[in-house]
A and B are shown apart, each in its own frame.
Chain A
Amino acid sequence: MTGFVLKRMGFAVITLFSVLTLVFFIVRVLPGDPAMVILGDQASQAAIESLRTRLGLDRPITLQYVDFMRGVFVGDWGVSMVSGRPVIQEIAKVLPATLELTFAALILGAAVGIPLGVWSAVSRNTPPDYVIRLASLLGLSFPAFVSAVLLLLAFSITLRWFPVMSSGHGETLVDRLRDLALPAINLGLIMAAYITRVSRSAMLEVLNQDYVRTAKAKGIAFGQILIRHCLRNTLIPVVTVVGLYLGILIGNSVLTEIVFNRPGLGRLIVGALNQRDYTMLQGMMVIYTLMVVGVNLLTDLTYGLIDPRIKYS
């Protein structure tokens, strides 16, 4: 067990290093010169030079790289070029709101998606299956901002059940939940569409396995087979896929945060891009990397836990 965990963690560290290296180079190589991007293509040479010095871009690239890496690990991510406050502090301020939204969406997505997927698989090629498949495909096709606008119109304006602005830091639990509801439903339903499809095909595969057939032949009640044998094995691909879908979740959370005026990483990164806040942007990419690599690691470990066939070796 320990060996398995250590090995996985080793992989994660390697990936982390490579992605961070990539981030470092993307930010520097892509536009040619960040100072130029910040100041625009017609800026005077003197202005560019002085900004380069301020950003430390005139130093040897290896030195910058070492500084960047050290900074990432000791928590020194520089200061925002716009607000002048430490990047890590600004990120830490909004991170909880985004995490809250993401987790809520995941739970909602799984709670809706897994049962629907299983139902669809069990009743394959019957009307419920068709309806569920069509609905999940529609769910994948809805751009997150379109569904968000629809939810806003229906539940905030017409029915007035939820606030238009999701502040993300209500004082009471109830306030927080009210704030969270619509964004989480928006994101959760999209997640549900993905999870439904994965659960369905995973379930189909399991239903086809010999042991299920044997169990059926033995006359064991179908419901019991489903719960005892199938669900567990269906969960494995679902968990993997949920890990892989984190990217989709993050992308859609950006759009959701914009429509619902909810503070979070999404609005922060859009702001940083608009204001060409280069240090903030770098910090945002680091935090996304940490999240993605962290979740991949977790996925791997959970995978090991759920599937008894995976020996921790």
Chain B
Amino acid sequence: MTKAVHPAASSDFRIMVGAAGAGLIKAFNTNKTSWIGLGLFLFVCLLAILAPWIAPHDPLDQNILFRLRPPSEAHWMGTDFFGRDILSRILYGARISLVIGLVAIAAAMVIGTAIGLIAGYYGGRIDIIVMQTMDVLLAFPSLILGLIVVAMLGPSITNLIIAIALTAIPPFARIARAPTIAVKEREFIEAGRALGYSDARLMLGHILPNILPEVLVMGSLWLATAIRVEASLAFIGLGVSPPTATWGGMIREGFENILDSFWLALFPSIAILIVVFALNLLGDGLRDAIDPRLRGEQ
């Protein structure tokens, strides 16, 4: 690719992304519940970012003379088995959940979409081999795959991200491939090819923006799954090691105290539920709006 092509390509890209963005906003407006989901999710993100400033206590600070206390003025959500402030741990735990979820899904999205684009664009044998591999991966229960990867690599934030990303690649590859096949037959791609545009430019500049909305919608739904899987792994005991606060780990600990101090498990459960529900609301509404089969009838 020569340098001269770049500005043109990027401006093409900008237009296309702009169109995709406009499409997304339209989708949002079609289904108002998406806005609610987005708002809730962004609010949680904000809380997570601000955790060091807004958390009332150090999340690791134990006060063993003040254990298992119910919610009070000093500790709005009570204290845990070690006398740590539950609210502060939830706020800090949000960072772990969100970082693991976002990074894993972003990675899966990029890798999966690239795989899908390439498979769909070139077709033929590459397509068959790649998609067969993806189907194989997809066939495996994601929690089980995550369990195995984490158990083998050891529970650390990086390894959790790798495990969750690995389970989320195939769906993105699938969702990127189908529209690629459809789009690549359209006239503007043929025209681009006639003009001598490179494959990469066609894929990135012309096909990607067309499939972007669907990929993003899928992303929000899988982010929900990723956060749930991370919590589940922590509940099984394969989360980030103590003393780091994670929601799943907190629920696990809370479950051990459920008979006398139910709030230990209650608040982190609500936190997970809110985030996952918000993301599902967001993704679900958008999907309804974008899904061509349902589009005409909203």
* Chain A residues with a Cβ under 8 A of chain B: 14-15, 18-19, 22, 26, 30-31, 37, 137-138, 140-146, 149, 153, 157, 201, 204-205, 208, 246-248, 250-252, 254-255, 258-259, 269-270, 273-274, 276, 281, 285, 288-289, 292-293, 296
A residues within 8 A CB of B276?
140-141, 143
- Chain A CB within 8 A of B235 CB: yes
- Chain A CB within 8 A of B95 CB: no
Give the residue among B133, B143, B251 with the most A Cβ atoms within 10 A.
B143
> How distant is the Cα of A15 from the Cα of B235 in the complex, in angstroms?
32
> How distant is the Cα of A230 from the Cα of B265 in the complex, in angstroms?
44
A144 in contact with B232 given A247-B140, A254-B143, A288-B144 (CB within 8 Å):
yes
> How distant is the Cα of A281 from the Cα of B138 in the complex, in angstroms?
19
CB distance from B253 to the nearest CB of A (A): 13
User: Interface size of B by Cβ–Cβ distance < 8 Å?
Assistant: 44
- One digit per residue, 1 when the CB lies within 8 angstroms of any chain A CB and 0 when it does not, for chain B 263-298 equals 001000100110011001100100000000110010
- Chain A CB within 8 A of B243 CB: no
**How many A-B residue pairs lie within 8 Å, measured between CB atoms?**
122
A138 touches B236 (CB 8 A): no
A30 touches B152 (CB 8 A): yes
CB distance from B131 to the nearest CB of A (A): 12
A146 in contact with B269 given A18-B133, A153-B258 (CB within 8 Å):
yes
A residues within 8 A CB of B130?
none
A residues within 8 A CB of B139?
15, 19, 247, 289, 292-293, 296
CB distance from A145 to the nearest CB of B (A): 5
Pick 30 A–B contacts, CB within 8 A, sort by A. A15-B132, A15-B139, A18-B132, A19-B139, A31-B152, A137-B281, A137-B284, A140-B224, A141-B276, A143-B232, A143-B235, A143-B248, A143-B269, A143-B272, A145-B255, A146-B265, A204-B294, A247-B142, A251-B141, A252-B143, A254-B143, A254-B236, A255-B232, A270-B147, A273-B148, A288-B140, A289-B139, A289-B140, A292-B139, A292-B141
B140 touches A292 (CB 8 A): yes
- One digit per residue, 1 when the CB lies within 8 angstroms of any chain A CB and 0 when it does not, for chain B 233-244 equals 001111000000
> How distant is the Cα of A138 from the Cα of B278 in the complex, in angstroms?
10
- One digit per residue, 1 when the CB lies within 8 angstroms of any chain A CB and 0 when it does not, for chain B 207-241 equals 00000000000000000100011011001111000
